[in-house]
Amino acid sequence: MQKFKNLSKETRIKLIILAVLIFLIGPGLYNKLKVVNYALKSDKIINPVRIALVTDLHSCKYGDNQQELIDAIDAQNPDVILLGGDIFDEKLGNENTIAFLDGIYDRYPIYYVTGNHEFWGGVDMYYEDMAILETYNITRLEGDLVHLDINGNNITLVGVDDYDGYLVDSDIILENQFVDAYLSLDADSYNIILSHRPELFDTYEAQDYDLALCGHAHGGQWRIPGILNGLYAPNQGLFPPYAGGLYEEDGTTMIVSRGLARESTLVPRLYNRPELVIIDIT
Ligand SMILES: [Fe+2]
């Protein structure tokens, strides 16, 4: 203490500011995986349904052979797993993504849509990623509509590509995917759209989806609990309106996963733990 008093006033102030910053920021850097649960109600659902939403893995590592993430999913025992894009990463390589798919592919129905990062690595990497999905027999949705037979419910799942798809494949025209799927929807079915992009909420709402499931925003990277739900998200900018969480408008619910990106980003997450999203619909 005497040593501290012997320091100049300027140095003492700097040390105090540093200590306060460490005290405030330190706990916010804790980035262990957490499970985030949402409970929804619908007249269209007669028996409970549990969905696991996995987004923005970016080939990050969750324990040996991805066991931490796989165990978290198994503990929730979902009826279906939806992979909402950016599961691969053009910079980190595919080792962790492959380990994850290897750990789940034969035990759950799994559906996948692309994120922007599946396209950002160029044509060769894109086809390599899609070949991996085929190896694991995972269904990719590209404007397709599938009827999910879950616990006797009438559920329709639509999945659309990320709108950066045109970068590698001129056949990927997102607008056409939306229109084709929309024209085939049945209003009596519980209609879910799986799409990487939360900034398209107006489209999901205009097309009367009951539920839209998205990622991409990474929770806005930095959060201040109770004050700020995300500082910045790609394609939404500063103070993003759809950084993560549940949003509702005119009968459409959108759930935005804060995703699983961890070591793939230069700027660390702050008060924004990576998340596995579990949705119960009753
Ligand atoms: Fe993304």
pLDDT of residue 256: 98
pLDDT of residue 199: 98
DSSP class of residue 247 equals: E
- C-alpha 213 to ligand 1 mean position (Å): 13
Question: What's the pTM?
Answer: 0.94
Which residues does the chain have with pLDDT short of 50?
A: none
Tell me the per-residue pLDDT of 235-258, one tens digit each, with 9 for 90 and over. 999 999 999 999 999 999 999 999
- C-alpha 266 to ligand 1 mean position (Å): 15
Tell me the per-residue pLDDT of 128-153, one tens digit each, with 9 for 90 and over. 999 999 999 999 999 999 999 899 99
pLDDT of residue 5: 82
pLDDT of residue 4: 82
Which H or E run contains 14?
helix 9-25
Between CA 115 and CA 72 the distance in angstroms is 23
- C-alpha 101 to ligand 1 mean position (Å): 19
pLDDT of residue 230: 97
pLDDT of residue 3: 82
Go through the chain and tell me how many residues it has. Answer: 282
Between CA 271 and CA 72 the distance in angstroms is 20
- C-alpha 38 to ligand 1 mean position (Å): 22
The domain spans of the chain are: 1-30, 34-281
CATH class of 34-281: alpha beta
